[in-house]
Structure 1
């Protein structure tokens, strides 16, 4: 132990300062974790949530049923998105009109 009272005072001061700094760091970490949790909740994309189960496309080779295309994508790109989706699924060139789409729930 320190015999000198001034040294003892200084040591006690340092210890309290260290404790305060540790507490501040812990609070900051907790706040950052809370912010991360809040951010994660708001990041859901509507395209992933809303998928079309079935879609009928009127093409050159008659009517073709299309799946695995998101509604947002079809609305955004209209003809092109559906055409690409049909090519991916059926592997054939299909021309389609937007008015011929029927969304199935």
Structure 2
């Protein structure tokens, strides 16, 4: 199952270039809730998601403009990984990442419905 996402937020942690078995990629931490979250979303809400950029153009864009605090819009596929270790069930500990198709820094608006 593929989950396509369009999200806006801020860069929460500086991007890094990472070497993998399949080439280079740029990775940064994205915060979709940079402002204080509404009371109903505060408890248990994650405030960080790893964004992975494999395209050479995106790698250059992320490494060149991905400063901590920069507003960013990300489009891509949401990937969920089960975290290893003892847990109640598979849904208890999931790591989220976005395989980015596009990244836009600067003044961003909410994604279209």
TM-score, normalised with respect to structure 1? 0.25
Structure (1/2) with the larger helix percentage: 1
TM-score (norm 2): 0.24
Q: Which has the higher strand share?
A: 2
Which is higher, the Rg of structure 1 or of structure 2? 1
